[in-house]
Structure 1
Amino acid sequence: MLENSVVMVAIILIINIVYVSFFTIRMILTLKGQRYLAALLSTVEVVIYVVGLGLVLDNLNEIHNLIAYAVGYGLGVLAGMKIEEKLALGYITVNVITKEYDLQFTKMLREKGYGVTSWMAYGMEGDRLAMQILTPRKSERKLYETIQDIDPKAFIISYEPKTIHGGFWVKAVRKGRLNQ
């Protein structure tokens, strides 16, 4: 079966897609502090890597195997990114600045379960409402849509917090209450 070059190319391609997808997920798990799961995944990852690389090195004179390896690597990066997008592990903090300095804005977000800290700010063109909001990454899109519905011109910046400690956020995050 492995003598057939089309089958060999397909196997190498699939192995590398799986390997690089695992690699991407392992890196994300490591960055998110999931060290034991990352270590377990890396064990499987390295076996897949050695098998795939072995197939290419055993048949180094076949250029199409090397091309399949490279293409599989690129497709694996794309697949890993899509998987990470679907997993959406962790939380994001969203900073919002709006001309709508009516406190109804914060009330509406809180009613939807978001942790909101707000303060009055002054921008180049006058008074503004500044808010900091915590949400699970899985709810990121929904939060943006909610903000855009309230104020389509709101200025939004988001980032992933490394550590969350104290206040409403920690209590709600630990109890899983951030349910948009």
Structure 2
Amino acid sequence: MLENAYVMVLIILVINIVYVSFFTIRMILTMKGQRYTAAFISTIEVVIYVIGLGLVLDNLNEIQNLIAYAVGYGIGVIVGMKIEEMLALGYITVNVITKEYDRDLPKRLRDEGYGVTTWPSQGREGDRLSMQILTPRRYEMKLYQTIQELDPKAFIIAFEPKTIHGGFWVKAVKKGKLES
């Protein structure tokens, strides 16, 4: 089976796609502090890596194998990122500054289940309402859509918090209040 050059290229390509996808997921889990899951995935990742690299090194005179390895690596990065997007691990904090000083906007977001903290602020053109909203990443796009529906001119910036501690909202998330 490994004598056929096309089969060898396909095997190397698939192995590297799987390896790099595992690598990407492991790195994300490591950054999110999920060390035991990351360690388990890295064990599988290394086995896949050694098999793929071994196939390439055993056949270095076949340039198509090296090309398949490189292309598989690139595709693996994309696949790993897509998997991470689907998993949507962790939380995001979204800062919203609205031109419309509408006190109903925070209430409507809270009614949707989001944790919203507000404060008055000043912009170049006058009074603004600033909001900080915490949500699981899996609801990120839904939150943006909701904000855009309520205030299409809102300024939105998001980031991932490293640590979350305290607050009433954490209990609500555990109960699945945002599920819809």
Give your verdict on TM over 0.5.
yes
| Structure 2 residue ranges without an equivalent (≥5) | none
Match of residue 94 from structure 2: 94
Match of residue 28 from structure 1: 28
Identity, % of aligned positions: 78
Whole-Å Cα distance in 1 between the matches of residues 66 and 153 of structure 2?
Answer: 50
5 Å-filtered alignment, 1:147-158, equals 147-158=147-158
SS in structure 1 opposite 2:134? strand
What whole-Å deviation, never above 9, does each CA across 1:16-60 have from its counterpart, x for those lacking one?
000000000000111111110100000000000000000000000
Number of equivalences? 180
5 Å-filtered alignment, 1:1-180, equals 1-179=1-179
SS in structure 2 opposite 1:97? strand
In the TM superposition, residue 166 of structure 1 has moved relative to its aligned partner by 1.5
| Structure 1 residue ranges without an equivalent (≥5) | none
What whole-Å deviation, never above 9, does each CA across 1:57-106 have from its counterpart, x for those lacking one?
00000000000000000000000010001000011000000012121000
Whole-Å Cα distance in 2 between the matches of residues 37 and 176 of structure 1?
Answer: 23
Whole-Å Cα distance in 1 between the matches of residues 83 and 166 of structure 2?
Answer: 31
Whole-Å Cα distance in 1 between the matches of residues 168 and 179 of structure 2?
Answer: 14
In the TM superposition, residue 179 of structure 1 has moved relative to its aligned partner by 3.0
SS in structure 2 opposite 1:167? coil
In the TM superposition, residue 145 of structure 1 has moved relative to its aligned partner by 0.4
Whole-Å Cα distance in 2 between the matches of residues 45 and 133 of structure 1?
Answer: 36
C-alpha RMSD of matched pairs (Å): 1.0
In the TM superposition, residue 174 of structure 1 has moved relative to its aligned partner by 3.9
SS in structure 2 opposite 1:127? strand
SS in structure 1 opposite 2:153? coil
SS in structure 1 opposite 2:118? strand
In the TM superposition, residue 176 of structure 1 has moved relative to its aligned partner by 3.8
Whole-Å Cα distance in 2 between the matches of residues 176 and 163 of structure 1?
Answer: 20
Whole-Å Cα distance in 1 between the matches of residues 179 and 125 of structure 2?
Answer: 35
In the TM superposition, residue 167 of structure 1 has moved relative to its aligned partner by 1.3
- The two structures have a TM-score, normalised by structure 2, of 0.97
Whole-Å Cα distance in 2 between the matches of residues 158 and 168 of structure 1?
Answer: 21
In the TM superposition, residue 175 of structure 1 has moved relative to its aligned partner by 3.7
What whole-Å deviation, never above 9, does each CA across 1:140-172 have from its counterpart, x for those lacking one?
000000000011110000000000111123322
